[in-house]
Amino acid sequence: MEKETRKIGHLDMDAFFAAVEQLDNPTYRGKAVIVGGLGPRGVVATASYEARAFGVGSAMPMAKARKLCPHAIFLPPRFPRYKEISDRVRAIIHDYTPIVEPASLDEAYFDLTGSERTGGPAEVIVRTIKARVHAETGLTCSVGLGPNRFLAKIASEIEKPDGLVIITPDNVQAVLDPLPVDRIAGVGKVTAHRLRGLGIHSVADLRGATLDVLVHEFGRYGRTLYQLARGRDDTPLRPHRETKSVSRETTFPHDIYAPEEIERIVRRMARVVAAELRHERLLGRTIRVKVRYPDFRTITRQIRMEAPTDSTYLIEETAAALVRRRVRIADDGVRLLGVGVGGITTATTRQLPLFGTRNDALDHVVDKLHARFGVEAVRRDGHPAPENGNESMDRNNGARYSESGGELG
Amino acid sequence: MDLVLLKDDLVFGVKLASYALGTRTSMPILAGLKMEILGNRLRLSATDLERAVQCEIPAENNDDEETVILNGAVLSQIAAHLPADDHVSLKRDTDDSDVVKLRCGEALFDLPTLPVEDYPEIPAPPEDKVAVLAVDQFHRGLEQTAFAALKAGETTRLSLTGVDLVLTAGALKMVATNGYRLAMKTIKPDEVLAEGEYLIEAGVLTDLDRVLMQLKGENVEVYKGPSQLFFRSNGVTFMAKTIAEEFPDFDRVIPHDNPIALLFNRRALLEALQRIEITAAEESGAVTFRVTPEESAARINSSSKEKGEAEERVRLRKVPAAELEISFKAEYLIDALKRVASEEIAFQLTDPEKAGLIEPDGDQIAPEDEGFLYVCMPVRLGG
């Protein structure tokens, strides 16, 4: 029996953070704009195409970007604004299919297989989506359509920016073969290097390798490579990706020594994490604190709570106690601090506390104020992420921290 | 050092002291059992700094007074396996002064000593007697409260790892809570000499209780130190450090006049809950009670996607005053019902988001249930 060919789309906003800055501030347009952590240890999140011409790229240390492109406009990220546009783009896609899997703030996969009966050919729908994104946000994106998510992603990259590429079962090999192997998701520098050692440079070369050779060299991943070289990928879309943890972490521009300051920062991050839990109507059971020392040794300390919670009081006090009692602060200080909450459940079921009522009421008030005046952005696992893991936070207090989200531990 | 002891005395003393042996690898000296020879008595002490046990046993002393420290865990194991002989001798090795020879019948152990100067000072019991308690009542009080606290090491909220002991004229209130449920027992002390409030880790009190059960004394005297309580019974002293944190304001959360009283047979409710808990959702462990004034039974059910559903009717002695649907974590209710002896209990409720109160009830409240109450917050089940 022949399986129905799936129609998977991948939409990727072009130089998203930088493009939003250029959109909101016309004087930035046509100029090199670099968004990222601005401290001495900051990393580039997004560079506009004008900056990319100078060799600036994502995940590059900001110091290097400043050297390559000293005249660029350097900006800290504004996550709430990016999230707003990201939500609008996602809403557009949702008009055509309920199956949307956000990959990050600027990327989403979607499944149009079932949409064709009512919405017309997928090839037409993706064109409509692309046009609507431009019309309704003022930003361009690149869209790929293919029989699976691997090919959809490949397709969206081929003509970036402002591209639209459709891969069908008939042209798969013609599109894939000439690509260098490191265009395959998951093939990083190390794998690419090992592949080159086997004489494999392009996808066509990879297709020439036998399954035995690839499995021998890469184990189970060899099997995946063998399939991907042939454009085969049956990974399903996960429209409702479950949040596994809500966390926040900060790398400091200078190592922090004072225990009081460390605790103060941990408390602030804990408050933000708690607010995010409430915003998303989630509860967490495990509270973690992560510390990285200047020599990059990293430790985490965690506590499993008696019941899942979203209480600022509980999360803040627990995180503070963890860092105070269970973390050794050496003379050389700490380089990074993180607070995370795991064991996530939805807040529809909640063990009510005996003593917590006054604090809960306060949480509610604080949340309202945040909603009106803005709160620092938080990222969660499995949800929109910056292009690389570097953000800036705490724009109010002089110091700038670069930070990255992600699961602690 | 040259001592002869009755084997049973040594076994008894070592067993008591072992309840306070330290296990922290950061302070290996606390694994030591301190033996002080005082005339014709041998004083045995152990401490992990949170608690300490001190007891004395008679000894036939053929040498000077001195102090040695031996590994407590090793001594406990030896004590548990001594051969059939009435006496044990302890002698310092003539060749190696850092070794003590323990002999019982044909069994001979060479035990290395630990440095006496490293051993921390165990605070001496002060003269400030604050109360005298009946051991059986205190024991029952600990049994009915200590379980409700959080375990130390599993939380950073130290105040919730303790049992709060509130001494007032004529009463000792013992209270423990994990922040979601609370157990309280009021007992009548034999004597109260000074009022006061002392918070002590539940695990420490459970060890104290074990020691008291070994001692089989009728009373325990309580003395107050600067940051500890001392309990003395049958010549044995148990020190317990107090937790330097404030216990939550528990009086505020004990409900009064809850209008809906569900009168259950305790065993019937306990067994039903143990069944219904099987299909409760993993994270909440919630079971739901539904009652109406039309029926003298509570319908209790639970359901979870993975495990299925359960429902059961449990008879009530009276029809309830009003209709109510309310959910609780089954474990919390089971914990309490298991620790009550009376045949009947009253589960007093107000509304789905307010605390429930469990108390022994009926014509025949078991004497060991006097003064016990249990407060439990419900689980809110959303749509």
- pLDDT, one tens digit per residue, over A87-124 is 999 999 989 988 888 888 899 999 999 888 888 899 99
CB atoms within 10 A of CB A258: 10
CA distances from B333 to B181, B183, B273, B300, B346 (A): 9, 11, 8, 13, 12
Q: Which of B178, B355, B380 sits opposite A349 (nearest CB)?
A: B380
Give me the mean pLDDT over the A285-294 stretch. 93
Average per-residue pLDDT for chain A: 84
Q: Which of A50, A107, A249, A316 is catalytic?
A: A107
Residue B331 contacts residue B310 (beta carbons within 8 Å) = no
Residue A124, SS3? Answer: helix
Work out the widest C-alpha separation in chain B, in whole angstroms. 87
Please list every residue in chain A whose beta carbon sits closer than 8 Å to the beta carbon of residue B305. Answer: none
Interface residues of A toward B, Cβ cutoff 8 Å, are 285, 303-308, 317-318, 321-322, 325, 345-356
| Fold held by B129-248 | DNA Polymerase III; Chain A, domain 2 (3.10.150)
Task: Give the pLDDT of residue A5.
Answer: 85
Give me the mean pLDDT over the B172-200 stretch. 97
Q: What is the ipTM of this complex?
A: 0.90
pLDDT band of residue A390 (cuts 50, 70, 90) is very low
Q: Considering chain B, what percentage of its residues have pLDDT values greater than 70?
A: 99
Please list every residue in chain A whose beta carbon sits closer than 8 Å to the beta carbon of residue B383. Answer: 348
Expressed in angstroms, the distance from the first to the final Cα of chain A is: 46
Residue B143 C-alpha from the chain's centroid:
6
Judge whether residue B279 has pLDDT over 80: yes
Residue B131, SS3? Answer: strand
Give me the mean pLDDT over the A64-83 stretch. 92
The domains located in chain A, with CATH, are 16-79 (3.40.1170.60), 174-228 (1.10.150.20), 245-395 (3.30.1490.100)
Strand partners, B264: B345
Question: Which residues of chain B form CATH 3.10.150.10?
Answer: 2-118, 129-248, 254-376
Interface test with A, best of B26, B155, B156 (most A CBs within 10 A): B156
Please list every residue in chain B whose beta carbon sits closer than 8 Å to the beta carbon of residue A356. Answer: 179
Superfamily for the B2-118 domain: DNA Polymerase III, subunit A, domain 2 (3.10.150.10)
Say if residue B370 is exposed, middle or buried (CB neighbours under 10 Å; 0-12, 13-18, 19+).
middle
Nearest residue in A to B149, CA atom:
A306
- pLDDT, one tens digit per residue, over A206-241 is 999 999 888 888 877 788 899 999 999 988 787 765
pLDDT band of residue B380 (cuts 50, 70, 90) is very high
Q: Which of B154, B182, B353 sits opposite A352 (nearest CB)?
A: B353
A159-163, A366-370, B89-93: range with lowest mean pLDDT: A366-370
pLDDT band of residue A372 (cuts 50, 70, 90) is low
Give me the mean pLDDT over the B153-164 stretch. 91
Say if residue A372 is exposed, middle or buried (CB neighbours under 10 Å; 0-12, 13-18, 19+).
exposed
Please list every residue in chain A whose beta carbon sits closer than 8 Å to the beta carbon of residue B182. Answer: 354
Superfamily for the B254-376 domain: DNA Polymerase III, subunit A, domain 2 (3.10.150.10)
Task: Give the pLDDT of residue B190.
Answer: 96
CA distances from B276 to A66, A89, A269, B313 (A): 65, 46, 40, 11
Task: Give the pLDDT of residue A359.
Answer: 62
pLDDT band of residue A398 (cuts 50, 70, 90) is very low
Say if residue A180 is exposed, middle or buried (CB neighbours under 10 Å; 0-12, 13-18, 19+).
middle
In this structure, what DSSP letter does residue B61 have? E
- pLDDT, one tens digit per residue, over A18-57 is 999 999 999 999 999 999 988 888 889 999 999 999 999 9
- Mark yes or no for CB contact B382/A348 under 8 Å: yes
pLDDT band of residue A374 (cuts 50, 70, 90) is low
- pLDDT, one tens digit per residue, over B103-132 is 999 999 999 999 999 999 988 888 899 999
- pLDDT, one tens digit per residue, over A201-210 is 999 999 999 9
Beta-carbon contacts below 8 Å between A and B: 70
- Mark yes or no for CB contact A354/B355 under 8 Å: yes
Q: Is the pTM of this model over 0.90?
A: no
Peptide bond into A161 cis (omega under 30): yes
Average per-residue pLDDT for chain B: 94
Nearest residue in A to B285, CA atom:
A351
| Minimal C-alpha gap between A322 and chain B (Å) | 7
Judge whether residue A149 has pLDDT over 50: yes
A105-119, A126-140, A363-377: range with lowest mean pLDDT: A363-377
Q: What are phi and psi of B203, to 5 degrees?
A: -65, -35
Residue that wins the pLDDT comparison between A253 and A158: A158
Structure tokens that stand for A314 in this block: 């509980």
Is A107 a known active-site residue? yes
Structure tokens that stand for B365 in this block: 């409240």
Q: Considering chain A, what percentage of its residues have pLDDT values greater than 70?
A: 87
SS3 of chain B: helix, strand, coil, percent, to 5:
25, 40, 35
Interface test with B, best of A242, A346, A355, A360 (most B CBs within 10 A): A355
